[in-house]
Amino acid sequence: MRPWSPIPIVDNGEPLEALPAWLQRIEPHPYQALGAPYGSSGCPFRLRRGVIERLARAVAALNREAPGWRLAIFDAWRPIPVQRFMVSYAIGEECRVRGFDPGAGGPALRDVEEAVGRFWAPPSEDPAMPPPHSTGAAVDLTLVDASGTLLSMGGAIDAIGAVSEPDHHAAAAQHDPHGERARWHGRRLLLRRVMAAAGFVQHPNEWWHFSHGDQLWAWRSGSPTAMYGRSDVS
């Protein structure tokens, strides 16, 4: 259970909508490319209407600080079957990285499951505890410069480990303000700043994950309720 899981949800009924053309997408969609089960009509590039409106504010804030830069969407709505598929995939990949067979079980597998669990929400079927992306309130994204180049953020989206924590490069940036890690840290701070200006909150373990209106948002913002629950629209 996450610390935000007990927060009640009062869904406001906003629909999922396709992301507008002014939001750049990272394509092919990374999870669809792996074979994640979205179904024939399950487009992942959708969010709640109010979340899309706030992304427009974030883009405006970004352009005030870095003219011509854009947000690039890595992932948005994620139904429960996809969450289940990706949790299993992430566990398998982390086992491969660590050099053992996940079928062997034991303490090594439990360590992997714990590490993956810091980043991947359980694929809960309980409507009171939906994974953030299943609500259409959460988005994974990064920065693109004026030339259309994806900018390095000092760690890949979905990386398992400390490198994914938002302030991972902060100490190095302070030690060497003109070094590469300082640039990475500055970009992470910029992304967090423009998203916060639009009313989003950041996942405590993931530099790329932001949400508005879900239980995580309520927990971080002090709201007594969340406004978006699980959306099963496909």
Residues with catalytic function: 206
DSSP state of 76: -
Cis geometry, peptide bond prior to residue 28 (ω within 30 degrees of 0): yes
CB of 81 within 8 A of CB of 44? Answer: no
Place of tokens 């927990």: 219
How many residues are there in the chain? Answer: 234
72 φ/ψ angles, rounded to the nearest 5 degrees: -120, 125
CB of 49 within 8 A of CB of 12? Answer: no
Beta bridge partners of 75: 140
Beta bridge partners of 103: none
Q: Beta-strand (E) ranges in the chain?
A: 16-18, 24-25, 46-48, 70-75, 138-144, 201-202, 209-211
CB of 123 within 8 A of CB of 87? Answer: yes
Closest CA relative to residue 119, chosen from 205, 26, 39: 205
